[in-house]
A and B are shown apart, each in its own frame.
Chain A
Amino acid sequence: MIYRQAGQFRTSYAADSRAIPFREDRVALALILIAAYFVIPFTASDYWLSVILVPWLALSLVATGQNILMGYAGQHSLGSAGFMAVGAFACYNLMLRIDGMPFLVALILSGVIAALVGVVFGLPSLRVRGIYLAVATLAAQFFIVWVIDKFGWFTNYDTSGIITTQRMEIFGYRFTTPAEQYLIVLGIVTALTWLADNMARGRTGRNWMAVRDMDVAAEVMGLSLLRTKLQAFAISSFYCGVGGALFAYAFLRSVEPTAFDIYLSFRVMFMAIIGGLATTIGPFLGAAFILLMPVFLNTTFQGLFGAAVDATIISALEQVIFGVAIILFMIFEPLGLARLLQIAQDRLRQWPFKY
């Protein structure tokens, strides 16, 4: 009834290629953004802001990076946590070693550094694909964390190897309360997501998808594989780096290199795939699912058993359920949450009177 797309004609090329073609969807997005910027910061509790929403946004950004590489360019990668570590520690060192470094500039530079590292570790993609490439990117994961852990310079020779992030300060204003930190993360994530969506819809994204669907064919058609693949690695790593820096600065605050372990990489991959590859909204849905499911299971079991059952048993049970959920997802909806959303939209379009 409300969700009708009949009568919305595309009468120009510009109208035909706009990001969100239907009015209802644009209104929905506008409402979500208004809520995110003007309602949530004032109504959500500090716990929700700093423990759920901020890591959700930061990891969504990382998952967006993973999605660019895996979903659009078709290159499997298990190194995202490594690139996150590059971003976080690059940001820390830039802020530490250069006087008067503005936070935003440091953030962007740390993304650029992560992109450069990503290009280096993306080189094997020119020779191998699929699972082979995933294993090759594991080298990035282990090597980067080892380097940051082993060489004291990166952690400013802290004896415990843990860094404490500096304050986030933009134009002399310090972002200290959870609501302010949420807003700064939200702003950066919105901007970068908008950018990613436009890249994916434009020529860049078409090139990636051509390489994903059949790289030999893409090369025959005149695409440079070297350029396209490394570009995907660079941009993906940029997102991972910025996301990692935000994750460290707005959420973790005291960061040790081993926080960026392989399990984080797996979780990021889960987010991208469960959310729905090659969609813009997918990484956000996936990140919410992966972050909230353990919280949900934990509260449920605490409520069910309380202190009667050993905590280790509960955590093992949670692990089993998590695994089963992932398997069920892969069996019944391998295209992810974004696909479920699309099905819901299609249903809504005909509601309540089916043809």
Chain B
Amino acid sequence: MIDTVELLFFLEVLIGGLLAGVMYSLVALGFVLIYKASRVFNFAQGAMVFFAVLSFVGFMELGLPFWAAFLVTVALMILVGMTTERLVLRQLVNQSDQTLLMATIGLAFVFEGMGQLIWGVEVRRLDLGIPDVPLEWVLDSTGMFISALDISAGVVAAVMVTVLAILFSKTKIGLGLRAVADGHAAAMSIGIPLKSIWMIVWATAGVVALVAGMMWGARNGVQFALVWLALKAWPVLIIGGFTSVPGVIVAGLMVGAIEKVAEVYIGPAFGGGIEGWAPYMMAVVFLMFRPEGLFGERMIRRV
């Protein structure tokens, strides 16, 4: 017979992990968008998250109301995304993997530096009006600590994924994007405007970065450490498959849950801190059995 209190504690840890995982998924979504359309592994996604939310807080501090600041930042991120595509990525079409990776790492440095140059380096608080306190009715009925902010992040992520899913499957842009993902040359030959698709993708990734950044910023404060998120999103991508939106959602949940459960139940045996590498180890083990990820496309190589 398992103790009810223990079970509830486990559930609490699990739900906390799942909701943290939602946030990983949000960051990973931006990666998938760009990778799908252009086969570019955008290392700068984490830096974009940081830059977006820093700008948002910056605009709020300038006296803009919440919604105005949000809209201005959305516009800014669309602009930044498009400019990046135009000035950097388009120059690097057909370059090798490592060149592209290097260029996006350089891009990450630029975003991090620019953000700090424009808005300063101090840690800021971001108040979304959603308190990061346990929901009382859950606490009363079950005794579990589940934060309202985490729940909101879950809802926001669900909305984002739905919107993106509709964008991909129902609109003309989405159709074009899927064609581009299947093959650049083929898509171009039937008249799909490759360049504008790429610009749209980068702009969308910028907006996704802003939403992810707002969620993370409300939880951890708006600070440089947000950049590290990008690294946590990598194992999520590996497990989910680089090209699958549902994949990264499921993988984000998995990584979040396993990481927290492992930290709470196995961590103390090693003195804690296993959160830092557990997701990567998970990804490595996962790669051994399913190299293409949960829902990724199986790669077939011919000589």
Q: Give chain A's interface residues, CB within 8 Å of chain B.
A: 70, 76, 123-124, 127-128, 130-132, 134-136, 138-139, 142-143, 146, 149-150, 214, 216-217, 220, 262, 266, 269-270, 273-274, 277, 312-313, 316-327, 330-331, 334
Contact = CB atoms under 8 A, between A and B. Distances in A.
A221 to B, nearest CB: 10
A135 B234 contact: yes
A154 to B, nearest CB: 13
A217 B105 CA distance: 31
B106 A135 contact: no
A138 B117 contact: no
B235 interface: yes
Contacts of A134: 101
A324 B106 contact: yes
Contact of A216 (B41, B116, B235, B303): B303
Given A124-B287, A136-B284, A214-B303, A320 B101 contact: no
A316 B102 contact: no
Contacts of B100: 330
Contacts of A320: 109-110, 113-114, 117
A273 B287 contact: no
Interface string B75-110: 000000000000010011001111111110111111
A146 B287 CA distance: 22
A76 B96 CA distance: 12
A317 B116 CA distance: 9
A334 B273 contact: no
Contact of B280 (A130, A138, A269): A138
A132 B273 CA distance: 24
Contact of A334 (B96, B107, B284): B96
Interface in B264-303: 270-271, 273-274, 276-277, 280-281, 283-284, 287-288, 291, 301-303
Given A132-B291, A316-B116, A146 B277 contact: yes
Given A124-B284, A136-B238, A319-B112, A326 B102 contact: yes
A160 B103 CA distance: 37
B231 A138 contact: yes
A67 to B, nearest CB: 12
A131 B101 contact: yes
A273 B105 CA distance: 12
A324 B91 CA distance: 14
A327 B103 contact: yes
12 contacts: A70-B98, A135-B283, A143-B280, A150-B273, A274-B102, A312-B120, A316-B113, A317-B117, A319-B109, A324-B106, A327-B107, A334-B99
Interface string B4-45: 000000000000000000000000000000000000010000
A124 B289 CA distance: 10
Contacts of B288: 123-124, 127
Q: Chain B CB within 10 Å — which of A131, A149, A313, A326 has the most?
A: A131
B121 interface: yes
Contact of B88 (A136, A266, A317, A327): A327
Given A138-B231, A316-B116, A331 B103 contact: yes
A64 B237 CA distance: 30
B113 A330 contact: no
Given A138-B231, A150-B271, A323 B113 contact: yes
Contacts of A146: 273-274, 276-277
B121 A316 contact: yes
Sorted nearest first, the 8 A-B pairs with minimum C-beta distance are: A323-B109, A326-B106, A319-B113, A320-B113, A139-B280, A323-B110, A142-B277, A316-B116
A327 B83 CA distance: 14
A277 B98 contact: yes
Given A150-B273, A323-B109, A331-B103, A132 B98 contact: no
A136 B113 contact: no
Contacts of B97: 76, 130-131
Contacts of B237: 135
Given A135-B237, A317-B113, 15 more contacts: A76-B97, A131-B242, A135-B238, A136-B283, A142-B277, A149-B273, A214-B303, A313-B117, A316-B121, A319-B110, A319-B113, A320-B109, A320-B114, A323-B111, A331-B91
A150 B101 contact: no
Contacts of A143: 277, 280-281
